[in-house]
Amino acid sequence: MIASLADAWRWYEAARALARAMARLGEKHWNDLPWDGALSRDNFLRHLSSAEILNGSQTVLDDLDDLCVLLLFSVFEATIRERVLAEVEAELPPLRHVAIKRALDEMKEGIEHGAPSNLPLSILPRLTTASSAFLTIWVPRAQELREHRRVLPPFRPVC
């Protein structure tokens, strides 16, 4: 389960490494594998061609950087929501009135699942600080990924 920005980054690095490894396998080694043994009995692998592996790997790599940015922002938003909810719950005294309890439950539901506009206004300065920290750390990484993609030529099947 991806529960932190570090988890999301590790997932991205692992997915990128695996896609690159598969591309290299398809480009350089697929046709030279010993297909006369156990590989010939594998009903999935024996039907794959070098071109299919290269195309699949490239499809993954083409959109992986953008998917990573989306994932990082999603994890960041979830982290903010958890922190805000914890802060709100810490501030609440024991309540007995049904209407007040219901209103607070609705507010907490809005924090957990609603739009960012549902967040209490008093936490906006802290969100801005947290957002600034997030943007300072992760946006340069996303830009670096995009630059890296521009510098390297895309994979081309050698078939």
Distance CA 32, CA 99 (A): 72
What's the DSSP call for residue 42? -
For residue range 18-70, list pLDDT tens digits in order. Answer: 999 999 999 999 999 998 889 889 999 989 999 999 999 999 999 998 899 88
* Residue 50 resides in a domain: yes
Give backbone dihedrals phi and psi of 49, rounded to 5 degrees, phi first.
-105, 165
* Residue 106 resides in a domain: yes
Contacts of 20 (CB under 8 A, 6+ apart): 57, 61
The three state secondary structure string of 73-114 is HHHHHHHHHHHHHHHHHHHCCCCCCHHHHHHHHHHHHHHHHC
* Residue 158 resides in a domain: no
For residue range 77-116, list pLDDT tens digits in order. Answer: 888 888 888 887 787 778 788 887 787 777 777 777 765 5
* Residue 89 resides in a domain: yes
- Residue 31: domain span: 5-151
Count the domains in the chain.
Answer: 1
Residue 20 has what pLDDT?
96
Q: Which carries the bigger pLDDT value, residue 109 or residue 16?
A: 16
* Residue 140 resides in a domain: yes
* Residue 61 resides in a domain: yes
* Residue 157 resides in a domain: no
Only one residue has tokens 């989306």, namely: 70
Only one residue has tokens 């929501």, namely: 81
Distance CA 106, CA 100 (A): 10
* Residue 156 resides in a domain: no
Distance CA 141, CA 147 (A): 10
Query: With contact defined as beta carbons under 8 Å apart, do 85 and 65 qualify?
Result: no
Neighbours of 140 (CB within 10 A): 10
Q: Collapse the DSSP code of 61 into the 3-class scheme (helix H, G, I; strand E, B; otherwise coil) and give the result.
A: helix
